[in-house]
Structures are given as C-alpha cells and as structure tokens.
Amino acid sequence: MNKMSVKDLKDLYGKKVLVRCDFNVPMKDGVITDENRIQGALPTIKYLLEKGAKVTLCSHMGKPHSIFSAEVKLNKKDKKKVDAGETTADAIIAKAKADEPKKLTLAPVAKRLNELLGGKVVFATDVIGTDAKSKRDGLGCGEAVLLENLRFHWEEEKKDENFCKELAYDAEIYVNDAFGTAHRSHASTAAIVEYGIVKTAVCGFLIEKELSVMADTLDNPRRPFVAILGGAKVADKLNVINNLLEKCDTLIIGGGMAYTFLKAKGYEVGTSLLEEDKVAYCKEMMEKAAKAGKELLLPVDTVVADHFPDPIDEKIEVKTVPSSEIPSDLMGMDIGEKTRKLYAEKVASAKSVIWNGPMGVFENPTLAKGTIAVAQALADVYGKCTTIIGGGDSAAAIQQLGFADKVTHISTGGGASLELFEGKILPGIDCLNEKN
Ligand code: AMP
C-alpha cells in the first residue's frame, strides 16, 4: 500500500488530530458485549496520545432511525409491521425518537476508552454542538475527546459539506482507522478530505494492518491460494466470485449459494435456496474456471431437511445425500461429511486461504458442522499457511469456536473486506495522502 500512515507524520506534539474510528460495538442494555473494535483502535490512539497530540475521536454506532435523517425511511422489519397493519409509521418513528439517543449513544464506549487509556478521554454529548467545541478547545497535549454518534446527523451519510467543515473544526490532521466503514463514502470517512477541508490525511495502524494482510495476499498470494465462499446468495457476491476466480487457484463454494451452482451443473436441488436468474452466471463462472485451468469445487454431498428451522435453533431431523440426488421435497442446509473432508484437504495443502461466508445454516447446531469443519481446517494449518477471515458471519464463527488466535487475520470489516475481494478501491482509503 502506498498511502501515508500515522507513522509517517513528523512532530505530532500539540497537533489537533481528528481520528475516524469504528466503535460500532455490540451492546446490550448499555453494556458493551464485545470490545474487539475498541481494542483494534487502541494502537493508533495510544500512539497519538504518547506523541502529545490533541485527539478528537469520532465514530458511528448502529443505524439510527431516519428520524435523525432528512428523509423518513423505515427499515425492512418495520415496513413489514406497518404493511401487516400491526402499527403505523408515525408510532415507530415516535418510539425511535424516544429510544435512540439512549440506545445508540457512544457514552459507554467513551467510558471504556477512558479506563483503557488511563483517564485521558472525555465524552462530548454532541457531534458539532457547543459541548463538542468546548471540549475540543479544552484538550491538553496527549488528551482525547470522543464525539457523540456521527449518524445522529443525517448529514454524515449524505456528505453534507457544511457538516464536514463543522466536524473538522480546527483539525490539522485527519486519520482514518475505521476499516469497517472504509467502503462507505460518508462525511467522516472520505468527504472531509475529498472537499479539501483537511489536507493532511493518513491511515491508522488498524487500516494499515488490514490492507497489508488482505491486499498483499490478493495481489501476491503464496500459492496454492484457496478462496472459500459461502453465505446465502450468489447475487450478493457476483463480483467477488469473478475477481477471486482470477486470483486464486481453487475456489470453494458452500452455503446457500452452492445450490444455484449445482443447478447450473445440471442437478436438481429440491426446495433448496435457488436463484434462477443467476444460473446462467454460475455456468459462465464454471466455464471461466475450466478455461483458466482453475478448480471450482462444489459440495459433493449435502445435509438436507424437509423445512427451514423455525425458530432457527429448532431441533431438526436431517440426512445426508449426494448433491446429484437431492430429493424434490427436501432442502439443502449444509455441506455433507465427504465435502467437509474434501474442503479440509484443500485447505491443508494451501499456502494462502481467504474465507467469507458460512457453509450452511450455522445458527442451528445441527447445521453448523460444515462451517465448524472449515474453521477447524483453517486452525489446523496455523503457522504454515496465511489464513484470512473476511469479517461477518465467518469471523463470528471463528471467534465462537475459540479459534481466533489460530488464524493469521480476522478482518474487522465484513462489507469492506468483501469489496476488497471484489477488487474495488475503498473510498475511505482512496482519499488518503500518497507516500512521498
Ligand atoms: P451471508 O450474509 O450472505 O454471508 O449469508 C449468511 C447466511 O446464509 C446465514 O444466516 C446462513 O444461515 C445462511 N445460509 C447458509 N447456508 C444456507 C442454506 N443452505 N440455505 C439457506 N440459508 C443458508
């Protein structure tokens, strides 16, 4: 990567630095339930504080309801309820208005940061208001303030120029260390630099690490390079499949998306998840793989059931059938035992592996075996192979299984890493200053 990082900045003493972090941590009743993202941001913040900078931290938290935005837009779940006549849009918005300042405040994050950083962090109860300004004015060298949730302002996502100016305030340097939102082009992630408001713009250590591991592996993988893709749909990963096929030696497919590939191969897939309109695309990808001499592996056997589990952890009856013989009334939910073995063997002989998306309906213990087998296969090659987990469900699975320290890298950004896998340039990184 040729972008400047905080390490390239000289003389930070007394400098006013605005740092975009990703503090979008899971919370329950005001208590942080997983502080990985806070821990991930610490190296950059510590470095700046030790150098005597005056640091303003900012982040979003969750998806505040549109009551804070210019347009009133209900999310899918709420819209369903309104359509079913269970409630009205007005009632939903009124409730959101009452709840969100409490539910989506960054105050608990500020408290935790203050504990971790020895009492050096204060919290501003607004983003660009009087509290933020007075706390920013009052910062001493080696002190920090965390602003309230950026997305309490609709202007954040709409890249409003005035908002960018107010957010920058007197910052001389901008640091982006929020990999999880680097694929978004918002006020705090890119526009503040794109509009020329803050001219010195560099990345933090977290982004630097994410890029050096992921981009380097994609561009210069140690071979054989195996890419494993799962998850629900082909449609969500069209460009990822295409780009990875060009880079890797073996592309392994699992999860719901495998059935559209199996259909493209000429198999019947029963009541499994099937995207009819993507069958032709899957055929094209299989032809592309064959032409380029690459392996594209599909499940050879499949765990099937007669319905989708409801509730998701329902105790469900299953059996395993060859992928070419899925009965017309049954649904494919996970990769079978032979496939697990085949995929694990491929991982065992690889030198680089990237993985995104579960191999089955892993939320159900009976249907999690394929996902666990892949996680185990990655853990087994620890130290011999570069293993990268592209965030999201696969990262959660690796963590739940206790294998987090048995892989080379777990990305903090599911969406951002998928866009890297697609070969896209991320706006939050593109806007930063080049080295030299
Ligand atoms: P994604 O968000 O695309 O990574 O997809 C993750 C979701 O795919 C999880 O909620 C899984 O339960 C779901 N999934 C995986 N395999 C299947 C399958 N065979 N049928 C239906 N859903 C699946």
Q: DSSP per residue over 223-273, as a string? A: SSEEEEE-SS-SGGGHHHHHHHHHH-SEEEE-STTHHHHHHHTT---TTS-
Ligand 1, pocket-test mutation among 393, 394, 418, most atoms within 8 A of CB: 393
- Find the catalytic residue in 81, 233, 265, 351: 233
Between the CA of 256 and the centroid of ligand 1 the distance, in Å, is: 5
Active site includes 233? yes
d(CA 41, CA 32): 15
What pLDDT shows up at residue 63? 82
- Nearest atom (ligand 1) to Cα of 361: 12
Pocket flag, ligand 1, residue 361 (CB < 6 Å): yes
Pocket flag, ligand 1, residue 358 (CB < 6 Å): yes
Pocket flag, ligand 1, residue 180 (CB < 6 Å): no
What pLDDT shows up at residue 82? 87
Taking CA atoms only, the protein residue closest to ligand 1 atom 5 is 231
Active site includes 37? yes
Taking CA atoms only, the protein residue closest to ligand 1 atom 12 is 361
* Cross-strand bridge partners of residue 385: 382
Residue 5 DSSP label = B
What pLDDT shows up at residue 29? 83
Between the CA of 328 and the centroid of ligand 1 the distance, in Å, is: 20
Pocket flag, ligand 1, residue 274 (CB < 6 Å): no
Name the nearest CA neighbour of 157 among 81, 87, 62, 241. Answer: 62
Between the CA of 288 and the centroid of ligand 1 the distance, in Å, is: 25
Active site includes 151? no
Pocket flag, ligand 1, residue 270 (CB < 6 Å): no
Pocket flag, ligand 1, residue 275 (CB < 6 Å): no
The residue with tokens 């952890």 is 313
Largest CA distance in the chain: 70
Pocket flag, ligand 1, residue 333 (CB < 6 Å): yes
Between the CA of 311 and the centroid of ligand 1 the distance, in Å, is: 15
Pocket flag, ligand 1, residue 326 (CB < 6 Å): no
Name the nearest CA neighbour of 383 among 408, 413, 355. Answer: 408
Between the CA of 360 and the centroid of ligand 1 the distance, in Å, is: 6
Tell me which residues of the chain have a pLDDT lower than 50. Answer: 66, 69-70
What pLDDT shows up at residue 70? 44
- Find the catalytic residue in 392, 413, 414, 428: 392
What pLDDT shows up at residue 187? 97
